[in-house]
Structure 1
């Protein structure tokens, strides 16, 4: 299960990024746990200077912008899991 964190204080951009991340995960068929991180001390630990931030499995993916669902789907952090899952599914089908 992927752990996705949305870093931000709860502004409209933070909410939009969360919505887009959920849409991307759903489109890729990934099982994800979402967490909103709004405590500024916790946000600073990720080293971002601008919000919102997107973190996948404790790795910062983006900061300071609202990625679209399409951009998030193209992220290496999400794509590696989706491609491995699809490869395993294909192997099972071909057996």
Structure 2
């Protein structure tokens, strides 16, 4: 992962969500299980959500007080892997 400059926390979050077989995970659960700061986990989840790689059960708009469940969008992640592979191959 270091060869590509991949953020370890972000990679751990993606791996964690890929292994989830339930209905998703809260940011607090992810932070606790991965031993990350809550704001660190939330920041990465928010960025991954904006890229479409992570989805939530929440609606657009203010989220104050909501308990969001995060899930991996495996199709979108596969697209990004394919894009990276094409880029690294000079395409």
TM range (shorter): 0.3 to 0.5
Greater strand fraction, Structure 1 or Structure 2: 1
Greater relative contact order, per chain length (Cα 8 Å cut-off, separation 6+): 1
Greater helix fraction, Structure 1 or Structure 2: 2
